[in-house]
Amino acid sequence: MNEKIRFGSRKKSLKTMSEHITVLLREAVEHLNIRPDGVYVDATVGGGGHSEAILRRLTTGRLIGFDQDDYALMVAGQRLAGLGNFSPVKANFSRLRECLSEMGIRRIDGIVYDLGVSSFQFDMPERGFSYQSDALLDMRMDPSGPITAYDLVNGADSAHLLEILYRYGEEANAKQIVKGILKARATAPIRTTFDLVNVIKCSLPDKILSKKGHPAKQTFQALRIAVNDELRVFENSLLQAIELLNPGGRVVVITFHSLEDRICKTIFREKSTVEIPKGLAIIPTEKPVLSLVNKHVILPSETEQKANNRAHSAKMRVAEKNPF
């Protein structure tokens, strides 16, 4: 069963969107090394913060903004109106090459990924992302997507649920939580976020519940990643982006989770090195596809972390396409 979400007050949501604080905004835009006449992509438009900053640096250039969420594109479009040549695309960024090709674009000069869930999606209770507000279990970044968190919680078998919680949430208490889910849903469906929170709390002993942090945080994170297939689509999109870059073009990736950062780090490392067999006395003539702009992750400043709690887990990596 796929319980459809119903959106609440647009006025309240619009206000929330306007208060979205973009993480690592200055650092991301500076590291894109923007040419005023270049073609750039914001793979995750969200609240439009990075898009606005990029557009303000373009003259005859163009920005294409991807987002799965119609509402995000609508509000971002209002924010970006009149700033320059902006083309919104309602699509998952895993369709990067396909959508750009349909627009006649074969090469780009830069792309930025701001991964995770936008603040406004968390702050809109009806989207079902937050364990702090009661709503139907949804968690779809694209509200028209086929699978919701409700479907997984009430339909996935024990092995699948364990895999989700272990792999995407790194939840040490996955077995107890999954056991609690199976027991609860045998009586009645787990319909809402608070239903799931209560199941999680009832499944864990007091010594775990008394620890710092919300006991449902990692489970909710794991379900969100699974519902949106976030890791696979990011890896797929990042590889496409690297192929699409012009020489000298840059890719900037901001992550908020260790699994996302690991994917980015691995791909950047593989694309910025040339493997030479040990003991082979030759000088390599092949050049790597990328050069790392920053060999270590860029973190938000202490000032930004104090001003924006969501900046605490952010990491930024940057790479540049080498000449062919």
Asked if the model's pLDDT at residue 117 lies above 80, the reply is no
For residue 101, the SS3 value is helix
For 182, the token pair is 């199976």
Question: What's the CA gap between 255 and 210, in Å, rounded?
Answer: 29
Give the pLDDT of residue 116: 77
User: Got the DSSP string for 13-69?
Assistant: HHHHHHT---TTHHHHHHHHT--TT-EEEES--TTSHHHHHHHTT-SS-EEEEEES-
Q: 204: helix, coil or strand?
A: coil
Task: Please list the residue range(s) of the chain that carry CATH number 3.40.50.150.
Answer: 21-117+230-321
Instruction: Give me the mean pLDDT over the 291-308 stretch.
Output: 93
Q: Give the mean model confidence (pLDDT) for residues 119-146.
A: 86
Q: State which H helix or E strand residue 247 sits in.
A: strand 245-255
Report DSSP state, residue 114.
Answer: E
Q: In the structure, how many helices (H) and strands (E) does the chain have?
A: 15, 7
| Per-residue model confidence (pLDDT) at position 239 | 98
Architecture (CATH level 2) of domain 129-228: Orthogonal Bundle (1.10)
Residue 277 pLDDT > 80, yes or no? no
The better pLDDT of the pair 130, 3 is held by 130
Give the full edge-to-edge strand order of the sheet including 290-292.
86-90, 62-67, 39-42, 108-114, 245-255, 315-321, 290-292
DSSP code string of 141-185: SSTT-S--HHHHHHHS-HHHHHHHHHHHH--TTHHHHHHHHHHHH
Q: Give the count of beta carbons closer than 10 Å to the beta carbon of residue 216.
A: 24
Tokens at residue 260, please?
Answer: 């996302």
Cα 311 to Cα 309: distance, rounded to the nearest angstrom: 5
pLDDT(1) > 60: no
Pull the structure tokens for residue 307.
């001003």
What pLDDT, on a 0 to 100 scale, did the predictor assign at position 124?
A: 77
**Each residue's pLDDT tens digit, 223-248:** 999 999 999 999 999 999 999 999 99
CA geometry: angle 299, 40, 257, nearest 5 deg: 30
Share of the chain above pLDDT 70, in %: 89
Which comes out higher in pLDDT, residue 53 or 15?
53
β-pair type (108-114, 86-90): unpaired
Lowest-pLDDT choice from 62-76, 110-124, 191-205: 110-124
Q: Number of C-alpha atoms within 13 angstroms, CB side, residue 105?
A: 24
288: DSSP letter: P
**The predicted structure's pLDDT at residue 280:** 60
**What does pLDDT average to over the chain?**
90
Q: What is the pTM of this model?
A: 0.88
The mean per-residue pLDDT over the stretch 169-176 comes to 96
User: Thinking of the domain 21-117+230-321, which architecture would CATH place it in?
Assistant: 3-Layer(aba) Sandwich (3.40)
What's 131's DSSP letter?
T
Q: How confident is the model at residue 189 (pLDDT cuts 50, 70, 90)?
A: very high
- CATH 1.10.150.170 region(s) of the chain? 129-228
